[in-house]
């Protein structure tokens, strides 16, 4: 049964379990509503499968996982910026709102470029070990 709007939590979480539940809700929302998050998750999963196939070293795994999580975190922050900007300006255009959204998207792009570079630096030598 849905809670009435007056029953919704507005204060701090009372327990770690409650905080963890809200965090899982946030991850589910990211996966359900954010197409680009799902795309980044799929590409990251493919990179992990390739890493398993190529038998990466521990150091290579550390770089690969760092790059994957950096992209996912950047996409999460981008989603937050977009939601807050939309909440503040609604359907009204504002130059600062556009700039905030563009800068957040640029952060995702930088993280994705970093991930491609790391992927190339890790995967290409690992592929070379096979031949």
Q: Active-site residues: which are they?
A: 75
Structure tokens at 131: 């031949």
Structure tokens at 128: 């070379």
C-alpha torsion angle, residues 89, 91, 95, 98 (rounded to 10): 90
- Indicate the SS3 state at residue 87: helix
Residue of 69, 61, 70, 101 lying closest to 85 (CA atoms): 101
- Indicate the SS3 state at residue 93: coil
The shares of helix, strand and coil residues in the chain, as percent rounded to the nearest 5, are 85, 0, 15
């Amino acid at each position: 049964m849905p809670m009435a709007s007056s029953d919704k939590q507005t204060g701090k979480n009372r327990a770690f379990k409650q905080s963890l539940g809200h965090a899982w809700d946030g991850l589910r929302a990211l996966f359900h509503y954010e197409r680009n998050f799902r795309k980044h998750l799929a590409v990251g999963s493919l990179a992990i499968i390739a890493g398993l196939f190529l038998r990466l070293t521990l150091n290579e795994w550390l770089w690969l996982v760092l790059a994957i999580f950096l992209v996912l975190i950047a996409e999460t922050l981008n989603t937050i910026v977009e939601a807050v900007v939309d909440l503040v300006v609604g359907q009204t255009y504002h130059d600062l709102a556009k700039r905030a959204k563009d800068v957040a998207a640029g952060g995702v792009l930088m993280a994705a470029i970093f991930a491609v570079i790391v992927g190339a630096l890790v995967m290409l030598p690992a592929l070379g070990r096979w031949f």
